Structure 1
Amino acid sequence: MNEMSKTRRFMTSLSVQVMLALVLGLAAGMAAQRWGMPGGAGAADLIQSVGQLWLNALRMTIIPLVFSLLVTGVASIADAARAGRMALKAVGWFAVMILVAVVYSVAVSYGLLSVWPIDPEGARKLLAAAPAASDVGGAAPFGEFIKTIAPSNPIRAAAEDAILGIVVFAVFFGFAATRLPERLRLPLTTFFEAVGETMIIIVRWVLVAAPVGVFALSLGVGLSAGASAAGVLLHYVVVISLACIGIGLLFYPLAVIFGRVGLGRFARAVAPAQVVAFSTQSSLASLPVMVERSVDALGVRRSTAGLVLPLAVAVFRITSPVANLGVALYCAHLFGIQPSMGQLIAAMLTAGLISVGTVGLPGQVSFFASIAPICIAMGVPLELLPLLLAVEVIPDIFRTVGNVTADVAVTRMVQGGDVEPDGDLAAGI
């Protein structure tokens, strides 16, 4: 726990530093736009090259990190499902809710951006100032998309960033590994766990330089886009935060219908856990309060809460597919990309499956590790993700609150009719 607290403090400090670097970079760029930049265009190109180098260092970890996390994540879910009927029921609810979250994210993202679209002038200036976008695949026919679900050559698929094929192969690989005898399964999953941890260490090393990388990228953006960039980033923060708030609110009626608990009772029960989640941005830190409120305020058996809530914190974060897919769709709108049906389905599948592997990672690590594959599946460039990473600290608050709300609701839903209704419940309070 001490090591975990140190990591949380480091990531919180890093978030503040990255946010400050973004503000300073935009301000320096706007100042240079008005009064000129020492060294001229050559100095600006050099600074942006530093930012691009930092972005490339993050990108090099995507494929091995995603593959290893999915293999170990799938194996852990399969092990949990074998633990008993209650665990299997919880995993079933998790799967259904992730599917609901993916569909919800697409509907809400398109709805919010339709009602409150991105400022076209701000988007144009932001894109003009961003690093040169890498080549992305065009909208392939739906028949071609079907062919790419199962890669004929996983190695070539990895080299070509065919991320959906890699994700599907990793899922099959993980489930197949669970069928091996223990003497073979344990070394294999341990190997991929080690690969994942190694990639996370590399990402953390790269993130140490995040203030420098974000400053370099944001200076170029401020130099070309000026205050328009800040307006687009603020719009982004509000849109993603609203999407996370919405999925959290959805669990109130779900708890009433499937958990057979009164709306007011559930709201009062979950509120203390939400306060802890808001202040710590950590589902794990909220776990003791979630257990206490589920047992004392919702009448959940302690054995049920003790099984379902730790499992939920370990493998279920409902806001991950919501926010991650929302970020990718926001970037698609910024770039003026209209995903084909095949690309959208690929992004939805990737978002749902990736959420299994990236839970439990620090926010800055999981941001790039989970969103970049979705962008690749949709054919969206990654060049704007570092700037969005810089402001992730704000949406991350609402991600955590949404996760905690969903965890408590699903715990009651798993128990369902097994609990005898008390006076409050009978009265519908």
Structure 2
Amino acid sequence: MPSSTAPPAGSSTASRDATATPGGDPSARRILIGLLLGAVLGMVANVLLRPGAPVDGVAAWDLNGDRVHDGLDWFCQNVTTVIGRLFLRLMFMVVLPLVVSALALAVVEIGDVRKLGRIGLRTLLFSGILSASAVLLGLTLVNLIRPGDALSAEARQALVERNAAGSADVGQKASKAKSVRDIVIDMIPENPLQEMAGAIDGSSKGNGMLAVMFASLFLGAALAAKPAECRGVISFLEGLNSVAMTIIGWAMTLAPLGAGCLVFSIVATLGYEVLVTLAWFAVTVLLGLLLQLVVVYPLVLTLFSRVTPLAFFSKISEAMQVAFGTSSSNATLPTALRVAEQNLQLPRETARFVLTVGATGNQNGTALYEGVVVLFLAQVFGVELSLGQQVMVVLMSILAGIGTAGVPGGSLPLIVVLMRSVGVPGEGIGIIMGVDRILDMCRTVLNVTGDLVVATCVSGDAEEPATEHPA
């Protein structure tokens, strides 16, 4: 494959999990330190300053038998929560340009599917199947394990009250839950601009962000069909995407403070209960990633490739280790290409096309994680999702894996939009921040492995040997 088939912007091939590990990136270390400080200080505040904490045998905030002003609650509501929400809003304001540009450009970048024929179609088919299976697996586990139910009714009520502004429309949205039929119809927006206006806060009468995503895919398909005539529009979208990523990069410089404040507010309010709930969430995610890795991938390899699962995993172990160590699909891409060509002996052009496209559009771990996060936080806030709403979560999780490709920290605003679309307060994202870093490393392994699985299956009946294409 000629190099021109690679995405025009180098950064856009990175997976949305393109964040470095704490040990290799100073910014990642700062975020980790901020999260740890927020959790530790929040726990200390919860133990020493929570309402009713005894001081010399007397409730700390009682006066003549009446509860007085709760200083900790005031601090959380007016200081740490405000800082955390400002951090989130910095990213919310670029969600729409990010999604529209990233999805449209992703389709433009794989526009050679028409020229590649069977290879391109098989790539899209396997990528879609694996992403869908990952999301469905994650949603099945979160419905069976129900990690959000580990939170007591009292703690859940305290959390809802603390996010009263964001929770005000939960019941209203639950009562307006759509059927699967309506969701399918509303995928195609009558007025994309109207859907954009209501996508962030969930006020759209249609499918909101899901409709925006589908409109963006159609935009990309039209641009890919007429690339020469639409060069100006493509350049504009590339510039818009670059601007959105730059702003998100600026916002991420505030992540240590913003994320730390969000974690502090939640831990100070809920105490150790939130840590137990978070542990169950992490177990659910890791179990889903593991099942996709050791059950789904081997099954697909057995059915559609010439290599045995054991031989496959043995040959790609280096790429898996690099993926875990760097937590970045983009950083792992050179290793994955070398492993595909030298160890798996895949045709060079096929491997390069599939792995390059996969780094953008085959985010199995990302899709699984986003679906689990949304349903977990819905359980935490006591939001019961209908079948139609869960179908929407499945579709948006798959598309969001493409829409946030190559954007460090770009998953956060998309997950929050997913949450809001089903009536879950966006500020609840702070609950999962404490374990996001290690889970990011694990899901990157699944993302990279999934790309190599697709490349192997697509090359299963290829007649072109790798040795015919010297490096």
TM-score range, shorter chain: 0.7 to 0.9
Q: Is 1:383 aligned with 2:427?
A: yes
TM-score (normalised: structure 1) = 0.86
8 Å Cα contact 1:68-1:192 kept in structure 2? yes
1:368 alignment counterpart: 412
Instruction: Show the counterpart of 1:160.
Output: 198
Question: Secondary structure in 2 aligned to 1:78?
Answer: coil
Q: Compared with structure 1, are the counterparts of its residues 278 and 145 closer, same or farther at alpha carbon in structure 2 (3 Å cutoff)?
A: closer
Pair 1:60 & 2:105 matched: no
Indicate the residue corresponding to 2:219 in structure 1.
Answer: 173
> What are the within-5 Å matches in structure 2 for residues 235-314 of structure 1?
235-249=280-294, 250-314=296-360
Unpaired runs of 5+ in structure 1?
A: 422-429
- Equivalence for 2:151: 120
Partner of 1:202: 247
- Residues 273-319 of structure 1 show CA distances to partners (whole Å, capped at 9, x for unaligned) of 11111111122332333233333333323333233223322432221
1:86 counterpart (119, 122, 128): 119
* TM-aligned CA distance change 1:36 to 1:338, over 3 Å: closer
Task: After TM superposition, give the deviation of residue 414 of structure 1 in Å.
Answer: 0.6
Instruction: Measure how far apart 1:396 and its partner are.
Output: 0.8
State the distance in 2 between where 1:126 and 1:26 align. Answer: 18
* Alpha carbons 2:183, 2:388 under 8 Å: kept: yes
Contact 1:44 1:220 survives alignment (8 Å):
yes
Report the CA distance between 1:225 and its aligned residue: 1.1
Q: What is the aligned counterpart of 2:231 among 165, 178, 186? A: 186
Q: 1:234 to 1:130 in 2, by over 3 A?
A: farther
SS at 1:27 equivalent: helix
Deviates more, 1:36-45 or 1:193-202: 36-45
Any residues of structure 2 matched to 1:83-162 within 5 Å, and which? 83-113=116-146, 118-121=149-152, 124=156, 127-128=159-160, 130-134=162-166, 135-136=169-170, 137-138=173-174, 139-142=176-179, 144-161=182-199, 162=208
CA contact (8 A) 1:237 1:391 kept: yes
CA 1:215–1:418: 2 relative to 1, 3 Å: closer
Checking the alignment, whether the CA contact within 8 Å between 2:88 and 2:413 is kept in structure 1 is no
Contact 2:163 2:425 in 1 (8 A): no
1:125, 1:225 within 8 Å by CA — same for their partners in 2?
no
Match of 1:182, SS state, is coil
Deviations 1:62-85 (A, max 9, x none): 222212211111222223453454
More helix by share: 1
Classify the secondary structure of the residue corresponding to 2:426: coil
The residue type paired with residue 186 of structure 1 is R
* Structure 1 contact 339–378 (Cα < 8 Å) conserved: yes
**Among 289, 310, 315, the residue aligned to 2:361:** 315
1:77 and 2:90 are equivalent in the alignment? no
Counterpart Cα distance in 2 of 1:141 and 1:86: 37
Give the distance between the partners of 2:363 and 2:456, measured in 1 at CA.
16
- How many residue pairs match? The answer is 414
* CA shift in 2, pair 1:252/1:133, >3 Å: farther
* Structure 1 range deviating more: 22-31 or 65-74: 22-31
2:454 corresponds in structure 1 to: 410
Cα pair 1:130 1:384 within 8 Å, conserved: no
Q: Which residue of 2 aligns with 1:230?
A: 275
Cα separation, partners in 2 of 1:23 and 1:130, compared to 1, 3 Å: farther
Structure 2 CA distance for aligned equivalents of residues 45 and 376 of structure 1: 20
Aligned-residue offset at 1:258: 0.8
Evaluate the alpha carbon distance shift between residue 17 and residue 79 of structure 1 in structure 2; reply closer, same or farther with a 3 A threshold: same
Cα pair distance change 1:130/1:76, threshold 3 Å: farther
Q: Which residue of 2 aligns with 1:426?
A: none
> What is the letter of the counterpart of residue 34 of structure 2?
A
Indicate if the aligned counterparts of 1:150 and 1:168 stay in contact, CA closer than 8 A.
yes
Residue 41 of structure 1: how far off its partner (Å) = 4.9
* Conserved 8 A contact 1:18-1:390: no
Unaligned runs of 5+ in 2: 1-9, 51-69, 200-207, 466-471
Q: Is the 8 A contact 2:21 2:441 kept in 1?
A: no
In structure 2, the residue matched to 1:30 is 43
- Residue 335 of structure 1, aligned match among 381, 393, 398: 381
Give distance in 1, aligned partners of 2:194 and 2:109: 28
Instruction: Compute the displacement of 1:269 (Å).
Output: 0.9
2-structure distance, mates of 1:109, 1:152: 34
Q: Give, in angstroms, the shift of residue 152 of structure 1.
A: 2.5
Q: Secondary structure at the match of 1:359?
A: coil
Q: Which residue of 2 aligns with 1:19?
A: 32
C-alpha distance in 2, partners of 1:407/1:125?
42
> Is the 8 Å Cα contact of residues 263 and 430 (structure 2) preserved in structure 1?
no
Once the 2 structures are TM-superposed, how far is the Cα of residue 419 of structure 1 from its aligned partner?
6.0
Query: Equivalents in 2 of 1:333, 1:212: separation in Å?
Result: 27
